[in-house]
A and B are shown apart, each in its own frame.
Chain A
Amino acid sequence: MTDNDVAVVPVRPRSPDDDLNTSKPPSARTRRRTGNTIRSRERWAALSFMAPWLIGLAVITIGPMVYSFYLSFTDYSLGYGEWTGMENYRRMADDSRLAQSVKVTAIYTFVSVPLQLAMALLLAIVLDRGLRGMAFYRSVFYLPSLLGSSVAIAIMWRQIFGTEGLVNQFLALFGIEGQGWVSSPDTALGTLIILHVWTFGSPMIIFLAGLRQIPTMYYEAAKVDGAGPLRRFRSVTLPLLTPIIFFNLVLQVIQSFQSFTQAFIVSGGKGGPADSTLFLTLYLYDQGFTQFNMGYASAIAWLLLAIIAIFTALNFLMSKFWVFYGDND
Chain B
Amino acid sequence: MTKAPAPERPDNRTEVRAASGAIKKLIFHLLLIAAGMVMIYPLLWMLSASFKPIEEIFSDPGLIPTQWEWSNYSEGWNALPHPFHKYIFNSLIIVAGCILGNLVSCSMAAYAFARLRFPFRGMFFAIMLGTIMLPIHVIIIPQYILFNNIGWVDTFWPLLVPKLLATDAFFVFLMVQFIRGLPKELDEAASIDGCGYWGTYLRVIMPLCMPALATTAIFTFIWTWNDFYSQLIYLRDPDMQTVPLALRLFMDSQGQTSWGALFAMSIVALGPIFGFFLAGQRYLVRGIATTGIK
Contact = CB atoms under 8 A, between A and B. Distances in A.
Given A150-B226, A152-B269, A156-B42, A301 B141 contact: yes
A288 B141 contact: yes
Interface in B222-274: 222, 225-226, 228-229, 232-233, 243-244, 247-248, 251-252, 259, 262-263, 265-267, 269-270, 273-274
Nearest 6 A/B pairs, CB to CB:
A56-B165, A229-B6, A17-B196, A152-B266, A64-B142, A209-B289
Given A64-B146, A146-B277, A216-B12, A4 B101 contact: yes
B244 A150 contact: yes
A308 B135 contact: yes
Nearest to B36: A140
B6 A4 contact: no
* A53, A130, A166 interface centre (most CB from chain B within 10 Å): A53
Contact of A237 (B6, B162, B198): B6
A230 B6 CA distance: 5
B96 A1 contact: yes
Interface in A249-276: 251, 254-255, 257-258, 260-261, 264-265, 268-269
Interface residues of A, number: 128
B18 to A, nearest CB: 15
Contacts of B137: 258, 281, 284, 301, 304-305
Given A71-B142, A137-B36, A251-B293, A46 B108 contact: no
B133 interface: yes
Interface stretch (B66-74, B77-85, B110-118): B110-118
* B10, B49, B244, B274 interface centre (most CB from chain A within 10 Å): B244
Interface in A46-64: 46-53, 55-57, 59-61, 63-64
A324 interface: no
Contacts of B19: none
Interface size for chain B: under 10, 10 to 19, 20 to 34, or 35 or more residues? 35 or more
9 contacts: A4-B100, A4-B101, A49-B201, A56-B105, A65-B138, A130-B10, A209-B289, A264-B228, A304-B137
B222 A146 contact: yes
Contacts of B40: 140, 143-144
Interface string B113-126: 00011110100100
* A49, A142, A232, A238 interface centre (most CB from chain B within 10 Å): A49
Given A42-B197, A140-B39, A155-B251, A129 B118 contact: no
Interface string B124-159: 100110010111111111111110100000000000
Contact of B124 (A50, A117, A151, A160): A50
A42 B228 contact: no
B32 interface: yes
B38 to A, nearest CB: 9
A151 B244 CA distance: 6
B25 interface: yes
Contacts, number: 341
B166 to A, nearest CB: 4
B16 to A, nearest CB: 13
Nearest to A298: B141
A97 to B, nearest CB: 17
A73 interface: no
Contacts of B201: 49
A137 B192 CA distance: 49
Given A206-B289, A265-B248, A125 B141 contact: no
B9 A219 contact: yes
Interface string B33-49: 00110011011011001
Contacts of B36: 137, 140-141
A49 B116 contact: yes
